[in-house]
Amino acid sequence: MVARDDDMPFHAVVRTELLEQIRTGKLRPHDQVPTEPELMERYGVSRTTVRRALRDLETQGFVTREPGRGTFVREPHVKPRLDRLTGFVEDMDALGLEASATVELVERTRAGSEVATQLGLRRGEEVVHIERVRLGNEVPISFDESWFPTDVGDRVAQENLAEDPFYAILEDKYDIALAGADFVVRATSADDRIAGHLQIEPGRPVLRLTRLSRRKPDGRPLIFEFLHYAGDRISYRLTLDR
């Protein structure tokens, strides 16, 4: 019989323990969750209780149930809001997923036309260019290309970018406050490079988010980015008032 607090229903205990296995990586994306009879025996609960726990996990987007095959762990699915500025780590924390990153590139380079225009620089002026793959529970969620003016980028480039997000570095370490960001979202398809970073097939749908973050109090451009998400790993939420 599964141990539980007196005020916690049995289905909530089963759900919580399965969710912990998903969050810690014991159950990874595409892994099959133990069958209903296995869960019934493991936890000493009824089939109704097991089905309620699995249904809750499916509603929350952590698993998918396939008739005749079983229940499988879904890939992490990000649902950031568009009515306030959040960073990747904040989005992962909201889902209960462990955020991490791999740093693919850090360099000083010359700004092309679009980067220069967005950052308010002259074409050919030096910028700091950083590329990272962002992961949730070790699954690639986004491939990010970011450009900074050198006065800020040189400092950011010295930080632990595999663990620390840009916004936290800027706000907490350098006391650079963010005013907000401009967004453009469009659908595209993954070329070989993006597909390789996201571990998807070339040609798969990708959502490309163009983001220009600005600093307080003057609204000066601070970071220009292309954020590439596998199309089935992200959806945006937006509440509109009439």
CATH architecture of 88-233: 3-Layer(aba) Sandwich (3.40)
Mean pLDDT, the chain, whole residue set: 86
Highest mean pLDDT among 1-10, 107-116, 167-176: 107-116
Q: Per-residue pLDDT for 1 more than 50?
A: no
Q: Which residue has the higher pLDDT, 93 or 19?
A: 19
What pLDDT score was predicted for residue 6? 58
Q: Kindly report, residue by residue over 101-160, the tens digit of the pLDDT.
A: 899 999 999 999 999 999 999 999 999 999 999 887 777 888 999 999 999 999 999 999
Q: Give DSSP secondary structure letters for the chain.
A: -----TTS-HHHHHHHHHHHHHHTTSS-TTPBPPPHHHHHHHHT--HHHHHHHHHHHHHTTSEEEETTTEEEEPPP-B--BSSS---HHHHHHHHT--EEEEEEEEEEEE--HHHHHHHT--TT-EEEEEEEEEEETTEEEEEEEEEEEHHHHHHHTTS-TTTS-HHHIIIIIS---EEEEEEEEEEEE--HHHHHHHTS-TT-EEEEEEEEEEETTT--EEEEEEEEEEGGGB--B-----
What pLDDT score was predicted for residue 128? 98
Q: Which residue has the higher pLDDT, 38 or 240?
A: 38
Q: Where are the domains of the chain?
A: 10-73, 88-233
* Whole-prediction pTM: 0.69
What pLDDT score was predicted for residue 25? 73
Q: Which CATH class is domain 10-73?
A: mainly alpha
